[in-house]
A and B are shown apart, each in its own frame.
Chain A
Amino acid sequence: MTPGSSVPRRRLLRFGTLLATLMLAGCTTVSAPQARPAPVPVPVPNDAAVLPMTGDTIEPVRTTQPPCANSPGSNPWASFRPPSPMPTPGDMPTGSAMRAIQDRGYLIVGVDQDQFHMSARNLSLSPPAGEQYSGFDVDMVHAVAAAIFGKDGADNIKYMPVTLAYRMGAVYQGVVDMVADSVTITCGRWAQVDFSVSYLAPGQRLLVPRSDTAISLTLDANGVPHVAGLTGKKVCTIGSSTSQGNLGALETGGGFRIVLAENWSDCIVLLQQGQVSAISTDDTLLHGITVEDPYLKVVGQRFSYEPLGFVFPRTDPSSADNSQFVGFTNGVITRLESADRNGYCPEAMTNADTTCWSAIYRTWLGSEVPAPPPIYYLP
């Protein structure tokens, strides 16, 4: 071998080795580099979303209504007059709407599942018949059932859970005999359904964490509400409720945005998780929420007047405008609000309770019992 001949051979060898190494390296599996942590998505209950600004104007709180073309009388808070005398429980007049229900054997009532202390599912194992739901609204329904079937009438109720979005539909479509779900009587809703007289008249307020001291709502001398401490924050309420409209009018002045949830429990979750700063609706519902979560409190003055009524289908084979059954229920409400202590009362009455209505109120909504709302009958 000549001294010079080994050089090209070594180079060839090196070149070949390099080529083979590079080509083999190209198909060698390489471990993936450590991934950069991605942010964890924030849970949102039932796709609750921030609403666009409504731009509604603020109006003073009113306890009267302008004449309504949809209701049978011009006053939308007036309803059908009760029969006189009221039929005896368990013996409804033949051919009446109540008789049809008595013969059927049960009253079908649409109720809410999560309005704690107003209408909520009884979350216990095997609740007794008639007690699958509980709350102020449900007690009122017990009284109606007792007036039809007799003392144990609550056992003859079939509860149909409905959402706020479908409660008017359930009545209009006639799949229930009535709905008891803290429904505010409005002229617009009379176009779809019938209402009883008002059995409770809460007002809309704000619910905030107990630690919050900044959020407040006051009415000025003209009764116009002014909200403070909510600038840049979010307030949760529910669609298909009058609360949304009332809150929308405060949105621009208060500098907050409305988050619309599907039900009140979703609003509680949003508030507990800090995704909203407040919840706003009737103070009776807010009271129930404070029982669920004692770290929340109701603040500010009432900035609306919400007379609540039972809701009925407009039509019935037994009477025009379903006036028989609606009038009958109005008679039950009237009796509950009277000093008559002889009839059936769903709650035990104490000496402090002047009426059965006050006993029901005290049981579910607090010891400071207000006067029941005024009752207006159609002429």
Chain B
Amino acid sequence: MTSRVRAGWPAWILILTGSLAVVLTAGLGATAAVTVHDQAARLADVTAAEQRLAAGGLDDDLTRDLLRVQQDEVALFRTHVDSSAQDPQLRDPSLDLYTVDQDLTAITHRPGVSTAAVSDADLIQRELAVYTGLEAMAVSENRQAMPVGAAYLREASGYLRDNTLDRAEAISQEDRARLLAQNEAAAGYPRLLVVVAVVALAYLVVAQAFLAWRTHRVFNVRLLTAGLLVVLVAGAAVTALLISRHRAVDAGPSAKSAADLTAVQRDVTRMGFDDQLTLSDFGEDCTGTISPATGDRSTIYTYPSTCAYEQDVLDSFTGSGTFSQDLETAVQSAPDDGLRAQLAGVQRSAAGWTADEMSLPTLQNLAAYPSTHMDQYPRYDPDFLSQELPRYTSPDVEAQAGKAVTEDFDAMQQVLPGAIDREWAGFARQTGGDRHLLGLLASIPVLLGAVGVALLLIVASFRQVVREHFSSGEDDR
């Protein structure tokens, strides 16, 4: 090309203009790569969390396996005192503990595990040592027919319920919260990338105009090609991110629904556990008062009694209770009528469960019975004798009452885990899963390659002009 450099501009302006073009284009490349990488990282995190949270995932395994430990410990305890509790399928609780240990190891070794989750898992491990010690005492004392065994069982169960299960739930909760947050972030617009792309492109247009003015060449082919590549890079990155965003937006309701269903499942698990404790401790978790505390023989006394575990279940079922609230939330977030119909079935099971709860042989229910029969003597009341009394005095009838609430629990278990599984599967389908993730990751080197070529072209174009500047004899003034 012939030298047609316009005089009157120092060389450093030319170099600065070229340098800025390089920096902005490199910045665009870096921003595009980082944005796509971030999106891929979010989706990878979301996919990993989804795979854990879906039925059979690590954290739910932990809660389920902890409950199994408790179930088998209670069964082992009852085997020595209750002929109706003889279970040929009884598992050795030490096998359950081994499984829990594996769950904890898997949690602490998963990628991206938080400090809080590691701390919780560590604490669960050490709490289990306390728990198993208490259970061993319970079984040992019970084998020797000592009543204190039941107290150790109560203490162990309460310890597991109030400490360890809460910690297991916290680990799971953290995963769900992280998944929802990452998915929400993935559903955001790539604003920074768009701004950087617009600025870079605008600058390249200005640079093109500057070079055209300086060299009297209307078009600088290299710079023009570089600008075209920048447009392609920005366009491709933004398009990929918008597609990804669209998938995340579409998958959001499934994730929300799955998380809400998991909350319901957690409540049901908790209530089932509470009922199990109610049935295994023979009502010794009940506290009572006399109202008024003092009086004479003309005073009317009442004896409100509260059994901690049963009251927890009843409270959950009330309108403002945890279960009712969580179920309502799950119904509202349910993405389709099929799931809503299933949740209506859960609601019906809850009504049955509440009724069955009132039939459990607890002192709370016993104390409440006479309040509706104060005009007669319950011990001579035919209804009391035929319906109420046997529950409290016959192990067989007591076992039947326990069976009723267990069936309510089982009815919900037939719906919820499957529904949660389906929602997570829907979520995985809508996010595109690993394939989409791989596509995003594969686009990064392509983007960087295109930006690299653009950079070379920009450098080449300015290099030529600078050379022309010096070869024309102009000096830097």
Interface on A for B, CB 8 Å cutoff? 2, 5, 8-9, 12, 15-16, 19-20, 23-24, 26-29, 31-38, 40-41, 43-47, 69-70, 100, 104, 108, 113-116, 120-126, 158-163, 165-166, 168-170, 172-177, 188, 190-192, 240, 262-263, 265-266, 268-269, 272, 292-293, 313-317
Contacts and interface: CB of A to CB of B under 8 A. Distances in A.
Interface in B443-473: 459, 463, 466, 470
Contacts of A15: 23, 26
Contact of A168 (B290, B385, B392): B290
Contact of A123 (B19, B149, B159, B388): B149
Contacts of A70: 296-297
Interface string B262-289: 0000000000000000000011111111
B147 A265 contact: yes
Nearest to A170: B366
Nearest to B379: A174
A300 to B, nearest CB: 23
Contact of B378 (A116, A123, A175): A175
B81 interface: yes
12 contacts: A12-B19, A12-B26, A19-B26, A38-B122, A123-B80, A160-B393, A166-B367, A172-B303, A175-B366, A175-B370, A176-B379, A262-B284
A114 B284 contact: yes
A123 B30 contact: no
Nearest to B41: A27
Looking at A15, A40, A159, A240, which has the most chain B CB atoms within 10 Å of its CB?
A40
Looking at chain B, what size class is its interface with the partner chain?
A: 35 or more
Contacts of A176: 379
A174 B377 contact: yes
Interface in B326-377: 363, 366-367, 369-370, 377
B158 interface: yes
Closest A-B pairs by Cβ, 10 of them? A169-B303, A165-B288, A265-B151, A35-B119, A114-B147, A173-B370, A123-B145, A158-B393, A16-B26, A23-B34
Contacts of A240: 288
Looking at B118, B148, B296, B380, which has the most chain A CB atoms within 10 Å of its CB?
B148
A254 B3 CA distance: 109
Interface string B129-149: 110001000000110011111
Interface in B380-409: 380, 384-385, 388-389, 392-393
B299 interface: yes
B118 A126 contact: no
Looking at B80, B151, B152, B370, which has the most chain A CB atoms within 10 Å of its CB?
B151
Contacts of B430: none
Contact of B119 (A38, A113, A172, A174): A38
Given A27-B37, A40-B123, A123-B81, A163 B283 contact: yes
Given A32-B112, A32-B117, 18 more contacts: A20-B30, A40-B130, A45-B154, A121-B282, A122-B145, A123-B142, A123-B146, A124-B81, A124-B145, A158-B389, A159-B393, A160-B393, A163-B286, A165-B286, A174-B377, A265-B284, A266-B151, A313-B379
B163 interface: yes
B123 A38 contact: yes
Contact of B377 (A126, A158, A317): A317
B22 to A, nearest CB: 5
